[in-house]
Amino acid sequence: MFSCPNCKGKDIGKIGVNQFYCWNCYIELSVSKGKIHTHQVEEDGSLSSLDDLFDDLFDDNERTIG
């Protein structure tokens, strides 16, 4: 398993194929080609990408699995 790139928490639940949810900071994570993508869940259930924020804060090694 991996830790959340936002809060570093390990309370990650699987919600779909290559889709996860952080119960600490309430963001959705998806994995594509070994890279973790982050999304905020909006009130209407839609997802807003947070990748642009994480691109500035973390290097690629902190957003990859494996």
Rounded Cα–Cα distance for residues 29 and 36 (Å): 6
**Cβ distance 28 to 53 under 8 Å?**
no
Rounded Cα–Cα distance for residues 27 and 56 (Å): 18
Q: Please tell me the pTM assigned to this model.
A: 0.76
pLDDT on residue 27: 95
DSSP assignment letter at 52: H
DSSP assignment letter at 5: T
pLDDT on residue 21: 96
DSSP assignment letter at 61: G
> What is the pLDDT averaged over residues 10-28?
95
